[in-house]
Chains A and B, each alone.
Chain A
């Protein structure tokens, strides 16, 4: 199996838990890319999300944190209507992506999902070659021009910092890569169709620290072009990669604000208890 030798060769890897120095622009408020208003969601009798209202800003990394079962993944999956796949789910409230109400009857769910890419907790490449994995989104959109596909493949793999590792074996199975490489392949697959927003559902929870670092660097570099929403269990990770953080507890949004503020001077007692490790 392929190893991430390129990473391993680097002598000094500092995995930092400090908050990254924010670029000056992060302090200012940007226009809202995703508007969430009074969203309630229940699976059968189980009321999972309570009156969530928040704005997610354009080309920023927003982290959802909170203990297991707090509804952060569920909210994430509302944003590209992945909850449609589950029977017996009821959603109320409004979710607007770039002004479009994605739950409206006339909205094409396929179109929504093409605009919003998603990366999952467990990397899930298709049982196809690396090349076919990356261009999958283009293929299903009907693009079959070879030069277009090859360009998109190279651009996406470079964007996902995977190109140098796989450029000589694009025709090999995507399942033959290492865990970290597979996750980056999934990110490449998501950005190949040039979405506006990328949702990441605990993208590093199955990865070792070195692979995690690579993915985090990648997230950091992607935020110039994409709005990124990341669900994570790892508070340090939220601190490292995100501009804004939302803390959820028992299906409610407890606190939401700029990441440095959240981690240095949380307003809510619950948030403070959680990030200082008193529960969770």
Chain B
């Protein structure tokens, strides 16, 4: 086989195309591998090392990094190495990551009995437990006794936290909600008194005051109950001694998880790993998002995509129906179609600015003036919220849905429409009963593309309702249950926030990767759900093979 013949046949083209595809796949695989490696490793409980330096300083920590020291111009450039320890104890040391030159280290060991303690504030604490006290009474003393008592102690702390949380968030939250409603009602009555000066409103005022006073009383009672629980729960404390000899007393209530890092079997490590993973997915964030979980962000992302889909599908399908079925095909329709296609290419921040100006300030502001004047100057809808963010994204993705729906409508065979019309159906009946069901899978393809784009957008959200921390979900038990005016958290924004806006960069770095994994998983899951629905529809409307 001569080279000439091979080129004529186009063998080289096969190689070119094949390698282009290979390069794409390699890049994607590399991206996912980097994210998975960096993200999933973070939760693994590594052993702790204790290093003693030449100057006598002692550090206990988890080794997270090792790199050659750059020293340009010197012979030892990149020859020597340094390690990075996660030493924790930020409240005591003032830092929680420490670079140490390997040349300075005189001794390295893996001490027994040291614990990693995840607590409410200041990041992890690394040290040896010394004594457990209740008030002034010593309950347990010595490492072994404490180690055995610790699981029970932490379980109790977890229960106490749940009880406190329930009272604080749910019960007192409900009372606060009523008090706030009473305040707004009394303001409303003031407005009415201004409008209708002759009217007697004393009865209504008395009613509001009575309800508010009742709520105040309940509030006081709950506060007392809370104080009682806190008194017993907060009295238990654990005292730790750190590697450099300092002592730290922690309330048991503030300890989320504690484990002896150097005395764990593989199976125990796996359990801790899974536990931390679960915490990450299911809990609220702590410590300016560098610790705890990101559940509100997952929830916010999914809910935003759902609201967006609910808006974008009807809007896009109706627009496509008019363009394809009713509009007289001509230059005007062609121009509209080109404009719609170009709309898909407009930078998303432009949509964000539009959303802020139109939805938030104009529409939200108007709604506030008409429906919620009693709450002003505090805006209700006149500020960023999940509804406005979803509307903005719907606008951003509607071209995708229009284009896909138009193609789907055009693909419905003419013979099918004719059959319906020949039966005496009107055009509207034909569209509703034959064309739309047959086009449904194609329309869903448009929705899938729209969701993939919408879930990954960040820039427009930053202007229309995403915030760094919003533990109050947009759905809760208070009427009307869906609070579309609330601000929300979003995984994409969360990545930016922990990565670049965090006061503690080193602690936040792994969160960037883990959050990225979750964002990818949410997008994949949403798409997968839509694909399953589409395939089901396709199977229903399959054409016979011939």
Answer yes or no: are A and B bound together in one complex.
Answer: yes
A residues sitting closer than 8 Å to B (CB atoms) are 1, 80, 82, 85, 110-111, 113-114, 117-118, 120, 122, 124-128, 136-137, 139-141, 173, 175-179, 182, 186, 189-190, 193
Q: How far is the CB of A169 from chain B (nearest CB, A)?
A: 14
Chain B residues lying within 8 Å of A111, measured Cβ to Cβ, are 424
CB distance A114 to B543 under 8 Å?
no
Chain B residues lying within 8 Å of A177, measured Cβ to Cβ, are 544
CB nearest to B416 among chain A residues: A124
Contact with A along B71-103 (1 / 0, CB 8 A): 000000000000000000000000000000000
Chain A residues lying within 8 Å of B420, measured Cβ to Cβ, are 126, 136, 140
A114 touching B542 in the complex, CB below 8 Å, given contacts A124-B416, A140-B429: no
Query: B54 within 8 Å of A by Cβ?
Result: no
CB distance B423 to A114 under 8 Å?
yes
CB distance B540 to A193 under 8 Å?
no
CB nearest to A128 among chain B residues: B437
Q: Which secondary structure dominates where chain B touches chain A?
A: helix
Contact with A along B395-417 (1 / 0, CB 8 A): 00000000000000000010110
Complex CA distance for A200 and B16, rounded to whole angstroms = 54
Query: B433 within 8 Å of A by Cβ?
Result: yes
Chain A residues lying within 8 Å of B438, measured Cβ to Cβ, are 126-127
Q: Which of B418, B433, B543, B545 contacts A85 (CB 8 A)?
A: B418
Chain B residues lying within 8 Å of A128, measured Cβ to Cβ, are 437
Chain B residues lying within 8 Å of A122, measured Cβ to Cβ, are 415
CB distance B544 to A176 under 8 Å?
yes
CB distance A139 to B433 under 8 Å?
yes
Query: B333 within 8 Å of A by Cβ?
Result: no
CB distance A127 to B433 under 8 Å?
no
Q: List 18 A-B contacts (CB under 8 A).
A: A1-B544, A80-B422, A110-B425, A114-B423, A120-B419, A122-B415, A124-B415, A124-B419, A125-B419, A126-B434, A126-B438, A127-B434, A136-B423, A139-B433, A140-B426, A175-B541, A182-B544, A189-B423
Q: How far is the CB of B432 from chain A (nearest CB, A)?
A: 10
Complex CA distance for A118 and B420, rounded to whole angstroms = 10
Complex CA distance for A72 and B454, rounded to whole angstroms = 53
Query: B421 within 8 Å of A by Cβ?
Result: yes
CB distance B541 to A113 under 8 Å?
no
Contact with A along B421-463 (1 / 0, CB 8 A): 1111110010001100110000000000000000000000000
Q: Which of B423, B425, B543 contacts A175 (CB 8 A)?
A: B543
Query: B546 within 8 Å of A by Cβ?
Result: yes
CB nearest to A141 among chain B residues: B424
Chain B residues lying within 8 Å of A193, measured Cβ to Cβ, are 423-424
Complex CA distance for A1 and B413, rounded to whole angstroms = 22
CB distance A82 to B424 under 8 Å?
no
Complex CA distance for A137 and B426, rounded to whole angstroms = 11
Q: How far is the CB of B408 from chain A (nearest CB, A)?
A: 13
Chain A residues lying within 8 Å of B434, measured Cβ to Cβ, are 126-127
Complex CA distance for A113 and B543, rounded to whole angstroms = 26
CB distance A173 to B541 under 8 Å?
yes
Complex CA distance for A123 and B434, rounded to whole angstroms = 15
Q: Which of B413, B426, B437, B545 contacts A124 (CB 8 A)?
A: B413
Chain A residues lying within 8 Å of B416, measured Cβ to Cβ, are 124, 126-127
**What 3 A-B pairs are tightest by C-beta distance, nearest first?**
A114-B424, A127-B541, A118-B422
Residue with the greatest number of chain A CB neighbours at <10 A, chosen from B413, B422, B438, B546: B422
A127 touching B424 in the complex, CB below 8 Å, given contacts A1-B545, A140-B429: no
CB nearest to B437 among chain A residues: A127
A82 touching B418 in the complex, CB below 8 Å, given contacts A140-B423, A175-B543, A176-B542: yes
Complex CA distance for A173 and B544, rounded to whole angstroms = 10
Q: How far is the CB of A112 from chain B (nearest CB, A)?
A: 8
Chain B residues lying within 8 Å of A120, measured Cβ to Cβ, are 415, 418-419, 422
Q: How far is the CB of B367 from chain A (nearest CB, A)?
A: 41
A175 touching B437 in the complex, CB below 8 Å, given contacts A113-B422, A117-B422, A137-B424: no
Complex CA distance for A144 and B471, rounded to whole angstroms = 50
CB nearest to A125 among chain B residues: B419
CB distance A113 to B418 under 8 Å?
no
Interface residues of B in 13-33 (CB under 8 A from A): none
CB distance B421 to A113 under 8 Å?
yes
CB distance A110 to B424 under 8 Å?
yes
Complex CA distance for A141 and B146, rounded to whole angstroms = 81
Residue with the greatest number of chain B CB neighbours at <10 A, chosen from A111, A137, A179: A137
Q: How far is the CB of A199 from chain B (nearest CB, A)?
A: 8
CB distance A113 to B542 under 8 Å?
no
Residue with the greatest number of chain A CB neighbours at <10 A, chosen from B421, B433, B543: B421
Q: How far is the CB of B158 from chain A (nearest CB, A)?
A: 53
Chain B residues lying within 8 Å of A113, measured Cβ to Cβ, are 421-424
Q: How far is the CB of B495 from chain A (nearest CB, A)?
A: 43
CB nearest to A190 among chain B residues: B423
CB nearest to B432 among chain A residues: A140
CB distance A179 to B433 under 8 Å?
no
Chain B residues lying within 8 Å of A136, measured Cβ to Cβ, are 420, 423, 425, 433
Given A127-B541, A140-B426, 18 more pairs with CB closer than 8 A = A80-B422, A82-B421, A82-B422, A110-B424, A113-B421, A117-B422, A118-B419, A124-B413, A125-B419, A126-B433, A136-B433, A140-B423, A140-B424, A173-B540, A175-B542, A175-B543, A179-B544, A193-B423
Q: How far is the CB of A83 from chain B (nearest CB, A)?
A: 11
Q: How far is the CB of A136 from chain B (nearest CB, A)?
A: 6
CB nearest to A118 among chain B residues: B422
CB distance A140 to B422 under 8 Å?
no
CB nearest to B328 among chain A residues: A87
Q: How far is the CB of A197 from chain B (nearest CB, A)?
A: 12
Complex CA distance for A178 and B413, rounded to whole angstroms = 19
Q: Which of A114, A139, A179, A189 contacts B546 (CB 8 A)?
A: A179
CB distance A85 to B421 under 8 Å?
yes
Residue with the greatest number of chain A CB neighbours at <10 A, chosen from B418, B423, B426, B542: B423
